Amino acid sequence: MNQRVYLDYSATTPMKQEVLNEMLPYFTEKFGNPSSIHAYGREAKQAVDVARDRLAKAMGAKQDEVFFTGGGSEADNWAIKGIAYANKQKGNHIITTKIEHHAVLHTCEYLEKNGFEVSYLDVDQYGMIDINQLKNAITDRTILITLMFANNEIGTIQPIKEIGALAKEKGIYFHTDAVQAFGNVKIDVNDLNIDLMSISAHKIYGPKGVGALYIRKGVKINSLIHGGAQERRRRAGTENIPGIVGFGKAAELAMETLETHISHTTSLRDKLVKGIMEKVDYVRLNGHPIHRLPGNVNFAFEFIEGESLLLSLDMLGISGSSGSACTSGSLDPSHVLMAIGLSHEIAHGSLRLTIGDFTKEEDIDYVIAELPKVVDRLRQMSPLYEKVKGGLK
């Protein structure tokens, strides 16, 4: 029986036992609706307050600046559409990048069909934006800069502090999709001048289907979900109490263990990169060599089909990803890998392996032992590789 090695922490994380323990009573005996004024309702409301407080502390915000949502995608939609429609008297121009998650890109495309203009910034070969290109893109009609904190595929971390300072200086709202960064890097919304920030519980060892949007006090934003008066009249719908409780606990744990989490994932990441680079030829590391998420590895193997590589690894019990979880299954090369300038062929030969708290040293040893063999076997089937190896090219 093969070992089972999960290396897809950027797609989702397993929930921690402490998180589940804290959630469980809210499915059964503590089942109240926080909008009810009786004891059951008050108990549920108090649980939401505790979770909100924990999240606020984890990002340096005030409690009443944190709003729960049904996940990171909803938070992105709310931030972008909410700012666009609330500020359209001031302007109709939004700036983003070509490497955002589809929750941001498709929201921007939707707004373009509805009278807004969007500038999509390029990135360099490492996935980094150019702050001068950002400055030049700003017009007197710009109302929002929405720019991801860290990329979900290649792990590149953007210069968020500089972007926040620029947005503040120009009087433009700054939203960041921090779904991948939160819990992996230290974030203080005031220090970084962030006005709006999306986060999601299932990326930080919490439950799926719950997220949050940080909205700085005073920011002019419309609601996305209309109905009841929940979330201080800004996001209708009976709250997902167990989910919110789990998110709060996961955020608290993430902050308590941030340093050890970063050193654990960074050292395994570096070991994996070194191990593969030493044993395999015609391979490069996608993403920034230094400014990248601690647990992110993304290789581009030449002369290989990423899908075949994934399937072969899956048979060995190794679970990775060929791009973002949302794009796997489609044959189009990832928009992120295209944006950093990879050819279609090399983009198709890319493999993302993301490391987390439960990854062990022996898991990485196993991958370093098996992956080169798989790459070698698949390349034997590539006529081009044979040619290159034989020096015929």
For the chain, give the secondary structure using H, E and C.
Answer: CCCCEECECCCCCCCCHHHHHHHHHHCCCCCCCCCCCCHHHHHHHHHHHHHHHHHHHHHCCCHHHEEEECCHHHHHHHHHHHHHHHCCCCCCEEEEECCCCHHHHHHHHHHHCCCCEEEEECCCCCCCCCHHHHHHHCCCCEEEEECCCECCCCCEECCHHHHHHHHHHHCCEEEEECCCCECCECCCCCCCCCCEEEEEHHHCCCCCCCEEEEECCCCCCCCCCCCCCHHHHCCCCCCCHHHHHHHHHHHHHHHHCHHHHHHHHHHHHHHHHHHHHHHCCCEEECCCCCCECCCEEEEEECCCCHHHHHHHHHHCCEECECCCCCCCCCCCCCHHHHHCCCCHHHHHCEEEEECCCCCCHHHHHHHHHHHHHHHHHHHHCCHHHHHHHCCCC
Binding residue for ligand PLP, selected from 23, 54, 73, 234, defined by CB under 6 A: 73
Interface pick for ligand PLP out of 59, 108, 179, 213 (rule CB under 6 A): 179
Instruction: Assess 200 for contact with ligand PLP (CB under 6 A).
Output: yes
Residue with the shortest CB distance to ligand PLP: 72
Tell me the per-residue interface mask from 81 to 120 with ligand PLP, x by CB under 6 A, - otherwise: --------------------x-x-----------------
Binding of ligand PLP at residue 230 (CB under 6 A)? no
200 is in an annotated binding site: yes
Q: Is 55 in the site for ligand PLP (CB under 6 A)?
A: no
C-beta closer to ligand PLP: residue 87 or 200 = 200
The answer to whether 108 is a known catalytic residue is no
User: Is there binding between residue 177 and ligand PLP (CB under 6 A)?
Assistant: yes
Does the annotation place 202 within a ligand binding site?
yes
Q: Is 142 annotated as a binding residue?
A: no
Residue closer to ligand PLP, measured from CB, 174 or 385: 174
Count of residues that bind ligand PLP according to CB under 6 A = 14
Q: Based on CB atoms, which residue is closest to ligand PLP, 119 or 152?
A: 152
180 is in an annotated binding site: yes
Q: Is 193 annotated as a binding residue?
A: no
Which residues are designated catalytic? 326
Chain positions contacting ligand PLP, by CB under 6 A: 71-73, 76, 101, 103, 148, 152, 177, 179-180, 200, 211, 325
Annotated binding site for [2Fe-2S] cluster: 326
